[in-house]
Amino acid sequence: EERVQINEMRIRMVKTLRERYGDAFLGGVNDMPLSREIAPDLIMPAEYTERKRYLKLVHSCDICIGSMGLFESIGWKTGEYVAAAKAIVNEEMHFTVTGDFAEGKNYLSFRTAEECLEAVRALAEDPERLYAMKLANERYYQDYLRPDVLVKNTLDIVDKALEKKI
């Protein structure tokens, strides 16, 4: 049931954004048997979904849109968008992340396809806000997600836990 809801939301988002932005919107669904069955018109060409080309495409965009993963997890693409210092519109997050990652500063959230469209519009029509979000995500990546910092922060947590046991 959860997978069905996730797929339905993604399909509504893509259709809504394509209707509003036409060719200026790059997005769709992967080519899989289920996609061919329920949304064949939304399947992205393989040239966009191959890993290296996908990442190149992400780097060419200012605004990236993330959706929820299984068990209401934060979708894995959200971390890629932060690492690429993009403005992010993301389905409502149900978990907190370390540091000062915050709605309104690092991302705009949505619960419906219409709210997603409104968040994209808000960023697209406000270049200063869009730029500030990109800078905030670049800073967040440097402070929390860069691989060496991630390891250091993890070791700091382990050290603190061990100190409490001593």
**What's residue 61's pLDDT?**
95
Please report the DSSP string for 107-118 in residue order.
BEEESSHHHHHH
**What's residue 72's pLDDT?**
77
Please report the DSSP string for 44-97 in residue order.
PPHHHHSHHHHHHHHHH-SEEEE-B-GGGPBPHHHHHHHHTT-EEEEE---S--
* Alpha-carbon span 102 to 96, nearest angstrom: 9
* Alpha-carbon span 63 to 73, nearest angstrom: 21
Among residues 61, 46, 65, 51, the alpha carbon closest in space to that of 108 is found at 65
In angstroms, how far is CA 98 from the centroid of its own chain? 16
- Mean pLDDT per block of 10 residues along the chain (166 residues) reads 84 93 90 87 88 90 90 84 97 89 97 96 97 98 94 91 84
* Alpha-carbon span 54 to 59, nearest angstrom: 9
**What's residue 141's pLDDT?**
96
Half-sphere exposure of 22 (CA within 13 A, CB side): 1
In angstroms, how far is CA 32 from the centroid of its own chain? 21
- DSSP code of residue 26: -
- pTM score, two decimals? 0.87
**What's residue 5's pLDDT?**
85
